[in-house]
């Protein structure tokens, strides 16, 4: 329905009602005809490559380069059609045609990739000396790091028949359960002030300066999550068991080892990150104790944590938010700002909250031959401005790394948050510069600190919940709703201590988090990326404009190098055991600055 029929122009801007993406450019022709054309092209290329089965051991570097070019073509083609299906589904998870198309794409894509599984197995059989000799040829630079990284999986590969079975069954196995969870969470409906509301809208109200509003919103979220809670718990149980079987068959030593391998991070380094963060839990606990004072409370409840410390919060329209973010990016690099502007001008963003739209926000890299897309759920809060800046950071990273090609465009998850957090931090700095009133400065600093706490400490707490859930499922069998709630409570309490009361209703809030379902082990990468990005930003504050070329080089490199080498581009030593503490020291300074602002505002 056109926005002008029901909303005044200011309402259209406030809710970004006319900000929707155009995903048809992913296809050679609109709709299902374009989907089928791309799938047919990928299938034909797959059949051509499959004919080379059994030849990898004898390939010359030129022949291997030609084969990898064919794989890249398949990756591009399937990537276009896969992103089209997923993005359409994300904006309306209830549309039958979107679900049917998504399943068709997944089934055909899996079949195409399955017939090429032999390549990874044959490549793994080559000696290190043979691999080194092949990869010395510059003709393979476009795939060299990818090919080296593939060989890290050698101890965990199964026989070809086993790999084929696992690949084929994933569509009706884990993939189907993940899709069901997305449909269930997208359908969660709340009632606030007697009116229906979506989950995103209810969660946004937790930032209200009015405690009664927060209490009502929290109660509405808990009530909205209740009807499908047992079903979502069953989905989680099933996927926990599925991963346990997978890990056992592939001989992974722990539930998170496969994720660490994909992230090019050792189990020991991830354990060091988690331990370093947990050792500094005094930071969030001290802040939440002080925040209770600012809000005039004896103790915060879980629904008070994101409350604004401002007496009121004005809403920010889409146009103003766009200008703020573009100005912030321009203050760092006009080149980055020009790229960001295209996202707005060329309809690469979908922003409004809609009935069956997937919750949350994300950036879809798509493929190197196309451009990225951003999905938001815009509620006109200041936090949404920083979310926009965050996702634009991802988008710019994806855009600049396109020349690396399909094998090297994306970074491991541990570095994937660098550009997003950096962009968010630059935008926050710009907002702070323009804010002179003491109470408003306090509100901004508090919001930034809380964002960091949520990204570092809360994500590590969520990682601990995941660890306990995977461990308990393997040791105890199927877990009850109450058991999930207990594990969730314990992980949150470890972070919060006695600074926050965890209410009974909050025990079910694990059940809307998509990362636990679709990306096991993902969440610690947020803490990794946040601390890395803060360190990168500290380099920028020290070096000034001379740092910009290094940063652009980092983004343009994509995932073409191991994480440690990417870190060196911006003078970060990811192998230094003290690296995490250095990042956490920056968070401590954020806390100190916020406390000083509270004193300046006469609030402490």
User: CA-CA distance, 379 to 2, in Å (whole number)?
Assistant: 19
pLDDT at 312: 64
The burial class, CB within 10 Å (0-12 / 13-18 / 19+), for 127 is exposed
CA dist 456 and 271 (Å) reads 14
pLDDT for 1 = 31
Confidence at residue 242, expressed as pLDDT on a 0 to 100 scale: 96
Cα–Cα distance for residue pair 61/65, rounded to 1 Å? 6
pLDDT value for 105: 95
Q: What is the mean pLDDT of the chain?
A: 93
Q: What is the DSSP string of 115-146?
A: TTHHHHHHHHHS-HHHHHHHHTSGGGTTTHHH
In CATH terms, the fold of domain 24-172 is Butyryl-CoA Dehydrogenase, subunit A; domain 3 (1.20.140)
- Identify the three-state secondary structure at position 293: helix
Instruction: Answer for the pair 323, 230: CB distance below 8 angstroms, yes or no.
Output: no
Which residue stretches of the chain have pLDDT < 50?
1-9
pLDDT for position 28 = 95
**Domain boundaries of the chain, sorted by first residue:** 24-172, 187-261+269-311+440-518
| 375 neighbors 87 (Cβ within 8 angstroms) | yes
Per-residue model confidence (pLDDT) at position 3: 38
Asked if residue 14 lies in contact with residue 321, where contact means CB atoms within 8 angstroms, the answer is no
Q: Give the per-residue pLDDT at 308.
A: 86
pLDDT given for residue 7 in this prediction: 42
User: What fold does the segment set 187-261+269-311+440-518 form as a domain?
Assistant: 1.10.1370
> What tokens were used for 210?
């009015």
pLDDT tens-place string over residues 52-80: 999 999 999 999 999 999 999 999 999 99
Q: Which pLDDT value is given to residue 505?
A: 96
Question: Angle at which helices 31-50 and 96-114 pack, to 10 degrees?
Answer: 10
Angstrom distance (rounded) from CA 387 to CA 365: 17
Within its chain, how far is the Cα of 296 from the centroid? 35
User: What is the spatial distance between Cα 243 and Cα 257, in angstroms, rounded to a whole number?
Assistant: 11
């Amino acid at each position: 329905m056109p926005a002008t029929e029901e909303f005044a122009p200011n309402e259209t801007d406030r809710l970004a009602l006319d900000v929707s993406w155009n995903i048809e450019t992913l296809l050679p022709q609109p709709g299902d005809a374009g989907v089928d054309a791309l799938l047919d092209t990928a299938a034909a290329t797959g059949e051509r490559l499959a004919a080379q089965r059994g030849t990898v051991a004898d390939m010359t570097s030129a022949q291997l380069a030609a084969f990898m070019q064919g794989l890249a073509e398949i990756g591009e083609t399937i990537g276009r059609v896969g992103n089209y299906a997923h993005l359409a589904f994300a904006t309306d998870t209830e549309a039958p045609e979107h679900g049917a198309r998504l399943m068709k794409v997944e089934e055909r894509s899996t079949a195409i990739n399955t017939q090429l599984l032999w390549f990874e197995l044959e490549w793994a059989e080559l000696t290190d000396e043979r691999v080194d000799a092949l990869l010395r040829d510059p003709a393979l630079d476009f795939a060299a790091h990818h090919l080296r990284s593939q060989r890290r999986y050698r101890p965990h590969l199964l026989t070809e028949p086993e790999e084929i079975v696992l690949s084929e069954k994933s569509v009706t196995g884990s993939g189907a359960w993940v899709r069901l969870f997305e449909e269930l969470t997208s359908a969660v409906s709340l009632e606030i002030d007697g009116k229906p509301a979506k989950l995103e809208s209810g969660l946004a109200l937790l930032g209200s300066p009015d405690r009664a509003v927060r209490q009502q919103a929290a109660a509405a979220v808990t009530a909205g999550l209740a009807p499908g809670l047992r079903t979502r718990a069953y989905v989680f149980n099933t996927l926990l068991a599925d991963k346990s079987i997978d890990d056992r068959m592939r001989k992974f030593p722990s539930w998170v080892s496969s994720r660490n391998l994909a992230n090019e991070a050792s189990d020991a380094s991830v354990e060091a990150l988690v331990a370093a963060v947990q050792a500094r839990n005094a930071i969030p606990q001290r802040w939440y104790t002080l925040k209770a004072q600012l809000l005039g409370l004896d103790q915060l409840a879980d629904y008070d944590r994101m409350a604004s410390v401002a007496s009121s919060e004005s809403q920010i329209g889409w146009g103003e938010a766009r200008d703020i973010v573009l100005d912030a990016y321009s203050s760092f690099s006009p080149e980055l700002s020009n790229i960001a502007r295209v996202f707005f001008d060329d309809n690469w963003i979908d922003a409004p909250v809609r009935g069956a739209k997937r919750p949350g926000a994300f950036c879809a890299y798509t493929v190197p031959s196309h451009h990225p897309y951003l999905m938001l759920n815009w509620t006109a809060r200041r936090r949404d401005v920083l979310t926009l800046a965050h996702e634009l950071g991802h988008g710019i990273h994806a855009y600049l790394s396109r020349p690396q090609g399909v094998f090297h465009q994306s970074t491991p998850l541990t570095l994937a948050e660098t550009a997003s957090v950096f962009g968010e931090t630059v935008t926050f700095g710009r907002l702070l510069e323009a804010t002179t009133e003491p109470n408003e400065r306090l509100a901004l600093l508090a919001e930034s600190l809380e964002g960091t706490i949520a990204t570092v400490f809360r994500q590590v707490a969520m990682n601990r919940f995941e660890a306990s859930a995977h461990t308990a499922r393997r040791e105890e069998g199927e877990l009850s709703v109450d058991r999930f709630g207990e594990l969730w409570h314990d992980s949150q309490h470890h972070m919060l201590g006695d600074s926050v009361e965890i209410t009974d209703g909050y025990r079910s809030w694990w059940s809307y988090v998509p990362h636990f379902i679709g990306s096991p082990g993902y969440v610690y990468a947020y803490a990794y990326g946040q601390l890395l990005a803060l360190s990168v930003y500290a380099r920028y504050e020290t070096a000034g404009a001379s740092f910009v070329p290094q940063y652009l080089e980092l983004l343009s490199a994509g995932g073409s190098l191991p994480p440690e080498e990417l870190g060196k581009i911006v003078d970060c030593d990811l192998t230094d055991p003290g690296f995490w503490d250095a990042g956490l020291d920056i968070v401590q300074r954020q806390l100190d600055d916020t406390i000083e602002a509270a004193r300046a505002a006469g609030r402490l």
